[in-house]
Structure 1
């Protein structure tokens, strides 16, 4: 084989690799920009899919993508063990996180509190805490 042929094959493979990598990144960005649904909104569809015999693992993935819930919370929702009634409203939660940050509890404890109160995944809870931090200039 000539070196030119080998060089062309390597370049073509590199282009294919780059295109598939960029395509995967675009899908991830689309998921981030997608508006998340609440567990209450998605529960009827989950129940319907369960009754029709859909695989639980696929349903858990679906719930995570649609709601932003963590793995445990999504699994609990699919299996019917998810606590729907959050003890704190958004305003109460916002105020409590603000107080925690001002008192020096730190963002890790505040994030853990948000996850416990809402069932959000780690990233979403951290984003909530970061948003409160930005608003209050802490």
Structure 2
């Protein structure tokens, strides 16, 4: 065999190997489908809840799509799932302070915190209340 042919085969195998490495970063289920993160599926969950979908069926769907356990999937559907905030806590506090000072209502501010963090209603309200309390000092 010629050296050029061997080199082409080696390069081809290396490219195949590298393409499989890229796909390993995302978790997959047993059938090899890529799993969604809780952050990715949350808008769909909220939409399906608003349309009146059965919570049990929705929890089952979340478990299949994300690979979450039963308790975490239930918490995500009920709005109590603790997600990592896409923005830093200090940035969120500054934004909440701005919203409160500009006259944005507390309810809209709480809704904003929930959208940004995935916190439940009580946790988001507590967060806004703490920011408001620190602002008054």
- TM-score normalised by the chain length of structure 2: 0.43
Query: Which has the higher Rg, Structure 1 or Structure 2?
Result: 2
Q: Hey, which of these two has a bigger chunk of helix by percent?
A: 1
